Amino acid sequence: MSRPVIAITSYLEPAKWGAWEKPAALVPHEYLDKCIEAGGTPVLLPPNADDLSALERVDGLLLVGGADIDPARYSATPGPHTDTPRTSRDASELALYKRARELNLPVLGICRGLQVMAVAHGGRLEQHLPDQVGTLHRDVPGTFNEHRAHFSQGSLIAQILETTDTVVNSSHHQAVADAGTLTATGWASDESIEVCEDPSEPFILGVQWHPEVMNDLRIFSAFVAACRRN
């Protein structure tokens, strides 16, 4: 059985290796590891909103985590805690997601990836959750907090995880405030949105937590299986 090819978006950030220190297109290896373990072949897409043709050669799109989306993308003013915009990445990922939908590709969004999906559907973000609910989702940048999440009965995420209540791992200070035309199907214990889906499609799923660093392959396995069927 052939392995489906999974396009994975990448960061464009300063990086240092060996004697070099310069901007680099990169992604944490856990995303690659989980795709491979689930039976897929990952390929990295650097930020490039001017050329989306790679999506015509792949079987699915994975939108990974990272810096905050520019609030201008959802008609908001940046708050004091919002990251400096990664303009090229925002433009690229929003364009890639919309093109993936046109091509009927399965899509999995993780953390920022979920937020990209919501913004693409006309939604908006809460720019700093600690102002609303405290530090349930992250005590310190670069760390994870575990907390409970609950899901709508019959939702895709509930089917994949075979439960409507579980423990997830978060590392974020922003969240989806309005899912736009997507459907919110999962919430943290503080009722902030943890999952969005498009129930009209076989696999359009965004999660706010980080399954790539969990010892649970089910989300990636379901995603790769959907890519194989596509």
Q: Which of 121, 150, 173, 210 is catalytic?
A: 210
Contacts of 99 (CB under 8 A, 6+ apart): 52, 55
Q: Which of 111, 150, 194, 197 is catalytic?
A: 111
Tracing tokens 């019959």 back to the chain, one arrives at 154
| CA neighbor of 92 nearest in space, from 11, 208, 207 | 11
With beta carbons less than 8 A apart as the criterion, state whether 130 and 190 touch.
no
Q: Which of 93, 126, 194, 212 is catalytic?
A: 212
Residue 210 falls in the annotated catalytic set? yes
Tell me how far the alpha carbon of residue 53 is from its chain's centroid. 21
217/223 Cα distance (integer angstroms): 10
Residue 212 falls in the annotated catalytic set? yes
Tell me how far the alpha carbon of residue 222 is from its chain's centroid. 15
- What positions carry a catalytic annotation? 111, 210, 212
